[in-house]
Amino acid sequence: MALANLKQEATGTRLAAAVVPPGGVWATQARRAALARVAEMGLPGRRDEYWRFTNPETLNAVQAPEAAAFDAGDEAPAFADVARLRVVFVDGVFDAAQSDDLSGEGLEIARLADVAQSDIHWARDLFGVLEAGGQHPVPRPLAALNTATATDGVVIRATSVVERPVELVLQHRDADSDVALHHVIRVEDGASLTLLESGAGAARLNTVAEVDLGHGAQFHHIRVQGRDHDRRAVTGLFARIAEGAVFKSFTLTFNGRLTRNEVVMDITGDDANAHVAGVALGDGRAFHHDDTVFVTHGALAGESRQVFKKVLRNGATGVFQGKILVRPGAQKTDGYQISQSLLLDGDSTFIAKPELEIWADDVKCSHGSTSGAIDEQALYYLRSRGVPLVEAQDLLVLAFVAEALEEIADERLADDLRGRLEGWLNRHRG
Partner 1 sequence: MLKIENLHVRLEEGGKEIIKGLDLTVGAGEVHAVMGPNGSGKSTLSYALSGRDGYEVTAGTAMMGDVDLLAIDPEARAAAGLFLAFQYPVEIPGVSNMVFLRTALNAQRKAQGRPGYSSAQFLKLIREKAATLDIDADMLKRAVNVGFSGGEKKRNEILQMAVLEPMMCILDETDSGLDVDAMKLVAHGVNALRAQDRSFLVITHYQRLLDHIKPDVVHIMADGRIIRTGGPELALEVENNGYADILREVA
Phi-psi sector, 306: left (phi>0), alpha (psi -120 to 50), beta: beta
- Among positions 305, 353, 367, 383, the unique one binding partner 1 when judged by CB under 8 A: 383
79 binds partner 1 (CB under 8 A): no
Select 295 or 382, whichever has its Cβ closest to partner 1: 382
Exactly one of 398, 409, 410, 422 binds partner 1 (CB under 8 A); which one? 398
**How far is residue 78's CA from residue 254's CA, in Å, rounded to a whole number?**
13
403 binds partner 1 (CB under 8 A): yes
Our finding on whether 381 is near partner 1 (CB under 8 A) is yes
**DSSP states of 332-381:** T-EEEEEEEEEESSTT-EEEEEEEEEE--SS-EEEEEEEEE---HHHHHH
Closer residue to partner 1, CB minimum distance, 27 or 405: 405
Integer-rounded Cα Rg, in Å, for the chain is 21
Q: Which of 175, 365, 396, 414 binds partner 1 (CB under 8 A)?
A: 396
Minimum separation from the CB atom of position 369 to partner 1 (A) = 17
Which residues on adjacent β-strands are paired with residue 207? 181, 235
In terms of CB distance, is 108 or 391 closer to partner 1?
A: 391
Q: Which residues pair with 290 in a beta bridge?
A: 260, 319
Stretch that binds partner 1, among 141-149, 353-361, 398-406, 410-418 (CB under 8 A): 398-406
d(CA 344, CA 283): 10
Helix 25-41 to helix 2-17 angle (10° resolution) is 160
Residue 425 within binding range of partner 1, rule CB under 8 A:
no
- From the list 59-67, 167-175, 253-261, 391-399, the region that binds partner 1 by CB under 8 A is 391-399
Nearest-approach distance from CB 404 to partner 1, in angstroms:
11
Segment near partner 1 (CB under 8 A); pick from 24-32, 67-75, 177-185, 376-384: 376-384
422 binds partner 1, rule: CB under 8 A: no
Q: What type of residue sits at position 102? A: L
Which residue in 33, 387, 409, 414 binds partner 1 (CB under 8 A)? 387
Ordered DSSP codes for 38-74: HHHH-S--TTSGGGSSS--HHHHSSSPPP-PPP--TT
Stretch touching partner 1 by CB under 8 A, among 224-232, 324-332, 355-363, 371-379: 371-379
* Amino acid found at 300: L
**Residue 400 binds partner 1 (CB under 8 A):** yes
Alpha helical stretches, state H, 178-313: none
CB 131 within 8 A of CB 48: no
Residue from 73, 361, 362, 385 in contact with partner 1 (CB under 8 A): 385
Note whether 377 binds partner 1 by CB under 8 A.
yes
Question: Collapsing DSSP states into helix, strand and coil, what is residue 310?
Answer: strand
Shortest distance (Å) from residue 420 CB to partner 1: 18
Q: Is 374 in the site for partner 1 (CB under 8 A)?
A: no
The one-letter code for the residue type at 388 is P
Options 142-150, 247-255, 328-336, 394-402: segment touching partner 1 (CB under 8 A): 394-402
Spatial CB neighbours of 88, under 8 Å, sequence gap ≥ 6 = 94, 95, 98, 99, 169, 171
Q: How far is the CB of 419 from partner 1 (least distance, A)?
A: 15
- Smallest distance, Å, CB 403 to partner 1? 7
Determine if 271 is a binding residue for partner 1 (CB under 8 A).
no
d(C-alpha 348, C-alpha 352), whole Å? 14
Binding site for partner 1 (CB under 8 A): 375-378, 380-389, 391-392, 395-396, 398-400, 402-403
